Amino acid sequence: MPRPTHQRLPWAQLLRRGAERRPPGPPRFADVARETLEDTRSRRLRAEAGARLRARRARGRAEEPAWEAMRAEAGEARERALADLEHHLLSFEKAAETRGTRVHWARDPAEVRGIVTDLVVGTGARDAVLTSSATLRETGVARALAGAGVRPHESALADLIAALADDPPTAESRASGRHDRARARETLLRHLPGAPSDLPDDPVVLVEAARDHLRDRLLETAVAITGANFLVAETGSVVLMETEGNARMAATSADTLIVVAGIDKIVASRSDLGVLLRTWSRSATGDPLVPVVTEWGGPDRDGDGPRDVHVVLVDAGRSRALAAPAGRDALRCVHCTACLDVCPVFERVGARPYGSVRPGPIGAALTPLLEGTATARTASLPFASTLCGACADVCPVGVDVPEVLLELRARVVDERRANPVPTPESVAMRSAEWVLGDERRYAAAQATAIRWARLLARAGRIRRLPGLLGRWTEARDLPAPPTEPFRAWWRRRRAADGR
Amino acid sequence: MRIGLFVACVTDSLFPATARATLHLLERLGHQVLFPQGQTCCGQVHHTSGYRREAMTLAARFADVFSGCDLVVTPSASCAAMVRRAYPRFATRDPAVARAPRVLELTEFLVDVADTVDVGAYFPYRVTYQPTCQAPRSPRGDERPLRLLRAVRGLELVELPRAGECCGFGGAFAWKNADTSVAIVADRLRDIGQSGAEVVCASDDACLTQISGALSRLRGAVRALHIAEVLAATEAGPAPAGGR
Ligand code: SF4
């Protein structure tokens, strides 16, 4: 076997100063995380909210005597849906159209924007209510509507606040509890017509003020655009789960309902839906069932609900994700957000470093699956995890997030192998493999490394490592390695024993 | 039964005292232990960094080196997890990997195989335990290390707040996301401080590199030790030399 150039010390590449090259494009996870870690107030709020939610969910799971069995069943339900997705989608289309719902197919966000804008403009409406939905944010429907002269109104409290504050869609608008109260109050005061100026930052009062504002909009608007939690293939119906009930109110009072849903939202049957509703609720809020569950079977002929119902089925990377290794496992996700609140990384850095509408551990897995790993940002996401597995422990549908991340890490590295100039890391890893392929080479490299490390040490501690390794010693020491590694001690003992 | 000892690279180079303590403890309990000298690495670092091809080569080598053993014991919980979780997947592509014998983490071996909870140790300190996330079993709810520690004479076991939480090491994560990694361990040190422990122990030197590294930089008043060193200590003699 040919000897690589850095045979003496496989880590030599990592010791090179300036070895790190910053690739162009959107920032990597670590770059944004460095900024968000500075926001100590948000960190504290996230930690507190996380602890509260963890406790609630733990209580919820404890109340469910057969939680593990339920979880397995829910996982199987998701597996059934995804294993035969095309078939179920076609069944959904057929059943939905039979009941008068119009089904549209969109390959990418641009097609979603086109379809939705055409539908809304076609009704002649100048306003539309949008409910909180990652798919809506992901596809940029609100902005497209605004561009077409339709005013989009956000219906969920957190989204409203985010919209008023003109936050980008990546802002942490997942739950009002995660928002900084004082900031939310300022935003409301600035933007809500008629909000009292002595509005306290008490969340209950804030919610009321915002809700008053919302209700008027919801009841006035002729077009409602929502996401969906589940699409039932068997019945062609759309299921929406909420804690506030705004989407139901908006959709009920609208003439036209447009549902924008990823193709992964399919469930095969109503019995599969049943177990998913229960596990989802326990995982999302800890309750046996979330307060508002709405199932839309199709247009309402008695005039109680929307007269026109459209469902836009969105691919936007989902079939690509499904075809990738571990992609199907990740797409099981039912977006309950339980994994976010147990994640030590998310708790510290928040949503922004994930750079997409899907934060947290599952976001780190789904975003590269949906968008590919070609950019610095998406390629950094699979590495944004300690692989501690807390996410997999709580997931109600058995997504093994660390396994998916490992699969994606291998993909990122394999893609880099094709580059003509290897990265310093890859040279180091490949030389390390060569060194570790033989115990004599290993022992020799170890002896060299120990000598060098001991030269760097003062009073038994290494306070500064060179090059890329120096990231460790920015805030941590490394003990000076003892002169004699275990294997050398073992050999000496054996020789002394004459064994 | 031929019991092989596997010593991970971090332990071998940085914390050889852990490996000596493990050997000492197992021999004291009457087990004969071999140290196959061909051993180098289980491939965990490559695997978790995305270098799967290299990890598989090292896995095949590991399987070959230990193929003469009926059972392998290691004081590294994450390496045991690597062999138990990733190797079966590797084996579907490279049958050579399938030859690897069963690998148990030290506390699993003691409690499950040796059926020993009281190892005859004496360690008169207040101790807390940090579970290793990447252990072969979920660390949240693994009672083995705690049972072993409770049986140690003189030892006062104190609870670690938010016991199941990660220390923030995560292998390559500690470098690639150094800031976040440090933010996590900073909170962990606060938990350890709150526990009132004089010694924090764990079943993996990787976690301990992180915790002791931060403690050392801050000149913390808590010592980090591998659980093997705690269990190896007796009235007759302290653990083989070397704290951290
Ligand atoms: S991956 Fe996370 S968000 Fe998705 S279902 Fe599992 S716990 Fe919920």
Same domain, B207 and B158: yes
Given a contact cutoff of 8 angstroms between Cβ atoms, the answer to whether B104 and B80 are in contact is yes
Q: How many Cα neighbours within 13 Å face the side chain of A446? A: 25
Q: Are B192 and B167 in contact (CB under 8 A)?
A: no
State the pTM of this model.
Answer: 0.90
A286 min Cα distance to partner chain B (Å):
20
pLDDT tens digits, B100-114: 999 999 999 999 999
Residue B96 domain boundaries? 3-113
Output the six-digit token pair for B224. Answer: 């980090």
Share of chain A above pLDDT 90, in %: 66
Pairs of CB atoms within 8 A across A/B: 183
State pLDDT tens for residues A199-227: 666 666 766 777 677 777 777 789 999 99
End position of a domain, from candidates B78, B113, B148: B113
Helix or strand holding residue B202 (H, E): strand B199-202
Q: Are A236 and A269 in contact (CB under 8 A)?
A: no
Asked whether residue B147 is assigned to any structural domain, the reply reads yes
Residues B171, B73 share a domain: no
In Å, how far is A131's CA from the nearest CA of chain B? Answer: 33
* Number of independent structural domains in chain B: 2
Domains annotated on chain A, with CATH: 5-15+423-497 (no CATH), 27-52+339-417 (no CATH), 74-193+206-316 (3.40.50.10420)
pLDDT tens digits for range A150-208: 998 876 555 555 544 433 333 334 433 344 566 666 766 666 666 666 766 666 676 67
Residue B187 lies in a domain: yes
Whether B8 and B96 map to the same domain: the answer is yes
- Helix locations, A1-39, DSSP H: 12-15, 29-36
Give the number of C-alpha atoms closer than 13 A to the C-alpha of residue A228, restricted to the C-beta side: 27
Q: Are strands A230-232 and A237-242 parallel, antiparallel or unpaired?
A: antiparallel
Q: Kindly provide the ipTM of the predicted complex, given to two decimals.
A: 0.94
pLDDT at A217: 73
Q: Token pair 């062999």 is at which residue?
A: B83
- Alpha carbon distance A333, A317 (integer Å): 15
Task: Give pLDDT tens digits for B66-102.
Answer: 999 999 999 999 999 999 999 999 999 999 999 999 9
Beta-carbon separation of A393 and B166 below 8 A = no
How high is the pLDDT of residue A168? 34
Q: CA angle, A281 as apex, A276 and A282 as ends, to 5°?
A: 105
Q: A414-450 burial by CB neighbour count: b if 16+ within 10 A, else e?
A: eeeeeeeeebbbbbbbbbbbbbbbebebbbebbeebb
Give which of A40, A32, A51 is closest to A168, Cα–Cα: A32
By the CB < 8 Å criterion, does B175 face chain A? yes
Domain finish residue from B113, B141, B170: B113
Does residue B243 belong to any structural domain of this protein?
Answer: no
Nearest to A33 among B47, B50, B179 (CB): B179
Q: Is residue B240 part of a domain?
A: no
Query: Is B138 within 8 Å of A389 (Cβ atoms)?
Result: yes
> Is B28 within a domain?
yes
* Among the listed residues A297, A306, A293, the one whose alpha carbon sits nearest the alpha carbon of residue A258: A306
Q: Note whether B216 and B166 are same-domain residues.
A: yes
- Is B118 part of any domain? no
> Does residue B45 form part of some domain?
yes
Q: Are A262 and A238 in contact (CB under 8 A)?
A: no
Whose C-alpha lies nearest to ligand 1, atom 4? Answer: A333
Alpha carbon dihedral B125, B181, A180, A342, in 10-degree steps, equals: -70
Query: Cβ of B166 under 8 Å from any chain A Cβ?
Result: yes
Q: Which of B62, B83, B113 is the last residue of a domain?
A: B113
**In the predicted structure, residue A238 carries a pLDDT above the cut 80:** yes
Question: Is B173 in contact with A485 (Cβ distance < 8 A)?
Answer: no
Per-residue confidence (pLDDT) for residue A350, from 0 to 100? 95
Are residues B178 and B78 part of one domain? Answer: no
Shortest distance between the Cα of A440 and any Cα of chain B, in A, equals 8
| A3 — pLDDT class (breaks 50, 70, 90) | very low
d(C-alpha B157, C-alpha B195), whole Å: 10
